[in-house]
């Protein structure tokens, strides 16, 4: 069976979608799965052995680009796809499979897509409360898939595979100091801005405690997160700065993946890189504020979530302030969670470091 997947446009959502590909391979061992994705997500697919080919989606984010989508669909007409799974809910995301004439085109109703999809389903979010359930449900016939209880258990969670060669090369390039174990921080957030970010001064306090116990720190993120990375570095005591590598905006996504794979532990906001760390099965402390882990939690037994509020809280557009619920998460609490995850021989002397934090 040859399957075309129209993939999500966000790194975290693309990462979660791997559960669908893993499930498809379980159901159809001879399946050939091609995934169409925007450039910023496409590198993830090279670490997913279930994906045969990553196809370029060259349209700008949010652009209708009707002519370009029509041309791309026409170019795929002879590719022999049996079905298309459309993961985004937008009208435009269903255009390429329609123009390609793929016989079975499956997706949730979303924007008005009648005709574009010929197996269109109505999503009951109470029946499928997790994004991973929404994606994997599309692998099954609609008649037998009324709720998440009808999905196989356990669901295959996202898992990335990184070679030791790639890890060693990334470490040699960006983190030359090999004597200290590496802890990664992901202080950015693609959507939501500062409202979804743990404050830089908390990250700096945690970094200081870890460095003084013999660790080194690497900061990861995209070019949009550079201000957050610089603020963390500037808030560190002078004697700690040489052990903190600000790599925000300085690595490719592939290099960031390899470096995260090398980390003993990760502390992250709710972000795409949080889901990457989860898929690499790294010890992970995930920090949530107004966004909720109820729909897109980190899918790993190695992950711990810290959130001090419940329910969904709307994030105002262009919000420039840290959410109070994230300010309230203290470095000592994060340190304590991280300590339970790190290998025992490298565990932090929590009392010593908490005192350092409290003393500033």
Q: How many domains does the chain have?
A: 2
Q: From CA 24, how far away is CA 29, in angstroms rounded?
A: 8
pLDDT at 149: 96
Which pLDDT tens digit goes with each residue over 161-187? 899 999 999 999 999 877 899 999 999
Q: From CA 268, how far away is CA 53, in angstroms rounded?
A: 30
Greater pLDDT, 312 or 147:
147
* Global pTM value: 0.91
> Is residue 321 over pLDDT 90?
no
Indicate whether 222 belongs to any domain.
yes
Q: What is the CATH number of the domain that holds 328?
A: 3.40.50.2000
pLDDT at 58: 79
pLDDT at 358: 34
Which pLDDT tens digit goes with each residue over 346-358? 444 433 333 343 3
pLDDT at 344: 67
Question: Are 330 and 354 part of one and the same domain?
Answer: yes
Question: Are 12 and 84 part of one and the same domain?
Answer: yes
Question: Are 81 and 222 part of one and the same domain?
Answer: no
Share above pLDDT 90 across residues of the chain, in percent, rounded to a whole number: 80
Q: Token pair of 354, please? A: 């908490």
Q: From CA 309, how far away is CA 324, in angstroms rounded?
A: 10
Could you list the residue range(s) of the whole structural domain that residue 20 is in? 2-150
pLDDT at 356: 40
Question: Are 181 and 330 part of one and the same domain?
Answer: yes
Phi, psi dihedrals of residue 53, rounded to the nearest 5°: -150, 140
Question: Are 84 and 224 part of one and the same domain?
Answer: no
Mean pLDDT of 10-23: 97
65 band by pLDDT with thresholds 50, 70 and 90: confident
Phi, psi dihedrals of residue 86, rounded to the nearest 5°: -105, 110
- Among candidates 71, 73, 35, 29, which has minimal Cα distance to 51? 35
Question: Are 332 and 204 part of one and the same domain?
Answer: yes
Share above pLDDT 70 across residues of the chain, in percent, rounded to a whole number: 93
Q: Token pair of 88, please? A: 């985004």
Mean pLDDT of 118-144: 95
311 band by pLDDT with thresholds 50, 70 and 90: confident
For residue 303, the 8-state DSSP code is E
Q: Are 297 and 16 in contact (CB under 8 A)?
A: no
| Complete edge-to-edge strand list for the sheet that includes strand 83-86 | 51-56, 32-37, 2-6, 83-86, 104-108, 119-121
Indicate whether 260 belongs to any domain.
yes
Mean pLDDT of 101-113: 93
pLDDT at 60: 72
């Amino acid at each position: 069976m040859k399957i075309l997947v129209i993939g999500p446009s966000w790194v975290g959502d693309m990462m979660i979608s791997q559960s669908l590909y893993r499930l498809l391979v379980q159901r159809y061992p001879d399946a050939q799965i091609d995934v169409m994705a925007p450039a910023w997500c496409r590198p993830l697919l090279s670490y997913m052995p279930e994906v045969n080919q990553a196809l370029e989606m060259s349209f700008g984010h949010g652009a209708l680009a009707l002519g370009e989508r029509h041309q791309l669909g026409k170019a795929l007409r002879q590719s022999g796809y049996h079905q298309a799974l459309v993961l985004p809910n937008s009208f435009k995301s269903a255009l390429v499979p329609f123009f390609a004439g793929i016989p079975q085109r499956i997706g949730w109703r979303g924007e008005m897509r009648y005709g574009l999809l010929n197996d269109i389903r109505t999503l009951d979010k109470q029946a499928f409360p997790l994004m991973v359930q929404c994606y994997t449900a599309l692998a099954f016939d609609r008649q037998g898939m009324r709720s998440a209880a009808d999905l196989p258990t356990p669901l295959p969670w996202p898992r990335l595979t990184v070679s030791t060669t790639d890890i060693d090369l990334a470490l040699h390039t960006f983190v030359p100091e090999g004597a200290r174990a590496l802890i990664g921080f992901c202080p950015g957030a693609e959507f939501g801005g500062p409202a979804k970010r743990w404050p830089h001064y908390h990250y700096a306090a945690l970094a200081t405690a870890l460095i003084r116990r013999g660790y080194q720190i690497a900061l990861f993120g995209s070019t949009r997160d550079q201000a957050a990375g610089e603020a963390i570095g500037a808030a560190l005591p002078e004697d700690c700065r040489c052990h903190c590598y600000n790599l925000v905006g300085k690595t490719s996504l592939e290099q960031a993946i390899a470096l995260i794979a090398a980390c003993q532990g990760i502390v992250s906001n709710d972000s795409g890189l949080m889901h990457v760390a989860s898929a690499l099965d790294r010890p992970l402390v995930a920090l949530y504020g107004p966004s909720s882990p109820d729909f897109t939690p980190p899918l790993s037994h190695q992950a711990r979530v810290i959130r001090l509020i419940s329910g969904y809280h709307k994030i105002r557009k262009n919000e420039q302030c840290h959410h109070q619920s994230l300010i309230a998460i203290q470095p000592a609490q994060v340190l304590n969670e991280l300590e339970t995850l790190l290998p025992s021989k490298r565990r932090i002397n929590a009392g010593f470091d908490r005192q350092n934090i409290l003393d500033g």
